[in-house]
Structure 1
């Protein structure tokens, strides 16, 4: 394996992971508790709450999830570890668990959070009641990924730095 390509993959995975997971941590710090939106927050595009929602929706974190996940899989594949990691076989079980958690998190972003967020932001037509319902789902989806990032990071670190992988 080319050492420069490996280094580029590692840094790509690392930086994309920071952007992705950092977005969730930032959200927790900025909004530690759930504050439901009001119908007026969604019917008035100039309301401060709607503008805050719109400004937070920058899209970087969604694409960072794809980049981080893809770079991680490519690193495992390049080393010949991907099948054993996905099968949670032997010393590759920790990184395999991290891979499965990361896969679930990325799917959560793209197939739960984003479709609902599009309704909240009015990018996809929906009634105000539906948009309010979707705002709660996006909150819970984001918090789920934040909590899952803890074991994800543990298994990533344990696999290469914790002595669990041979």
Structure 2
């Protein structure tokens, strides 16, 4: 049992197999292919969103506040191994969340109405725009600055320090935007029509 649970990818494979079995059972039970695809993309959207926002909160609630307390000789363990791996999943979690969210909006026929903040779709639209801003920050501000700050790309010490500060400010900006974004997404769904 320990060998199985020590292998993350084996655990994920079994988890996906269980999910596929449930999906085939549900698909056969409900017999609605369009609804099934919609549900599947919603599932992927939520799964990727948990990865993205979970890592955003890890960085802001755990890593950033804890790093000043970590002894200097231990910091390379975080900056060379943990942070780059976490940033990989963070970036792609953001990308998949946005793409699947756009697919769900398209499949349900409200993509344009939401992006233009049309009547009845203002909350979900505002949530989508906040998520798009956050994803932009991840890919075009946080990641380029983190690459310099972590030494993934060469930079002088002053540039590394400035890049670390910039990445932190935009990560905190995303934390600030995440709460209203999640509120818009959840509340619009609770109001119906999606």
Please, what TM-score do these two structures have when normalized by structure 1?
0.86
Pick 1 or 2: higher relative contact order, CA cutoff 8 A, min separation 6: 1
Write the deviation string for residues 2-41 of structure 1: whole angstroms up to 9, x where unpaired.
12211110110001001000001112321464867xxxx6
Give the superposition deviation at 1:164.
Answer: 6.8
Question: In the superposition, relative to structure 1, how do residues 28 and 129 fare at CA in structure 2: closer, same or farther (>3 Å)?
Answer: same
Query: Where does structure 2 lack aligned partners over 5 or more consecutive residues?
Result: 1-32
- Runs of 4+ aligned structure 1 residues displaced above 4 Å come to none
What CA distance in whole angstroms lies between the structure 2 residues aligned with 1:127 and 1:32? Answer: 21
Write the deviation string for residues 19-69 of structure 1: whole angstroms up to 9, x where unpaired.
000001112321464867xxxx6xxxxx42232123122100100100000
Task: Determine helix, strand or coil for the equivalent of 1:9.
Answer: helix
Which residue number in structure 2 is paired with residue 76 of structure 1? 105
Which residue number in structure 2 is paired with residue 15 of structure 1? 47
Q: Tell whether 2:96 aligns with 1:64.
A: no
Query: Where does structure 1 lack aligned partners over 5 or more consecutive residues?
Result: 42-46
What CA distance in whole angstroms lies between the structure 1 residues aligned with 2:53 and 2:155? Answer: 28
Within-5 A mapping of 1:7-156 = 7-31=39-63, 33=65, 47-54=73-80, 55-58=82-85, 59-156=88-185
Please, what TM-score do these two structures have when normalized by structure 2?
0.75
**Structure with a larger share of its residues in helix:** 2
Q: CA RMSD in A?
A: 2.1
